[in-house]
């Protein structure tokens, strides 16, 4: 994961959505939540002006991996949940929501949502990439 995360930004009038493809585990909260904004068959696949900014921000916050984030035109961003919650799946995958500092090969990252590898076989440590048994 050297060179830092690759993020794409999709700017709308009231909100900008960023997407980090390497973190996406296809939970489909975005596509199911706002198909008029998130359409994988369209390019660009994210159209931020397709919904009200507050509604779009709410759907982005559903993304368990943190692959999606947003910034409002007034500079507002996501407030981390408090207290921080960690949930372990039956296979060992860790879903974390709340204020966190995740140490990566590129240095520490401040996060609000992440799915972390619990089996140590992910190629994107510490994030889960579904390559080991914890992502199954």
Which pLDDT tens digit goes with each residue over 69-124?
Answer: 999 999 999 999 999 999 999 989 999 999 999 999 889 999 999 999 999 999 99
User: What is the average pLDDT score of the chain?
Assistant: 93
pLDDT of residue 18: 98
pLDDT of residue 5: 65
Q: Residue ranges per domain, the chain?
A: 7-72, 85-135
pLDDT at 46 over 80: yes
How many residues are listed for the chain in this entry?
A: 136
pLDDT at 32 over 80: yes
Q: What percent of the chain has pLDDT over 90?
A: 88
Mean pLDDT within 28-57: 97
**C-beta separation of 58 from 68 below 8 A:** no
Concatenating the DSSP letter of every residue in the chain gives: -TT----EEEE-SSEEEEE-GGG-----HHHHH-TTTB-TTSSSSB-GGGS-HHHHHHHHTT-TTS-EEEEETTS-BPPPPSS-EEEE-TTS-EEEEEEEEEEETTEEEEEEEEEE-SSS--TTTTB--S-SGGG-
pLDDT of residue 2: 43
CATH 3.90.1150.10 given to domain 7-72: no
pLDDT of residue 98: 97
Tell me how far apart the alpha carbons of residues 108 and 70 are, in angstroms, rounded to a whole number.
20
pTM of the model: 0.89
Q: What percent of the chain has pLDDT over 70?
A: 96
């Amino acid at each position: 994961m050297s060179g830092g995360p690759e993020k794409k930004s999709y700017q709308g009038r009231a909100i900008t959505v960023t997407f980090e493809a390497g973190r996406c585990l296809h939970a489909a909260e975005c596509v199911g939540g706002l198909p008029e904004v998130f359409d994988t068959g369209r390019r660009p696949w994210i159209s931020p002006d397709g919904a009200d900014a507050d509604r779009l921000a709410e759907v982005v916050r559903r993304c368990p991996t943190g692959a999606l984030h947003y910034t409002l035109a007034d500079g507002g961003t996501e407030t981390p949940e408090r207290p921080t919650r960690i949930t372990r799946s039956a296979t060992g995958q860790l879903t974390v929501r709340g204020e966190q500092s995740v140490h990566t090969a590129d240095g520490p990252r401040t996060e609000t949502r992440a799915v972390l590898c619990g089996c140590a076989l992910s190629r994107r440590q510490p994030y889960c990439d579904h390559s080991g048994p914890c992502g199954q």
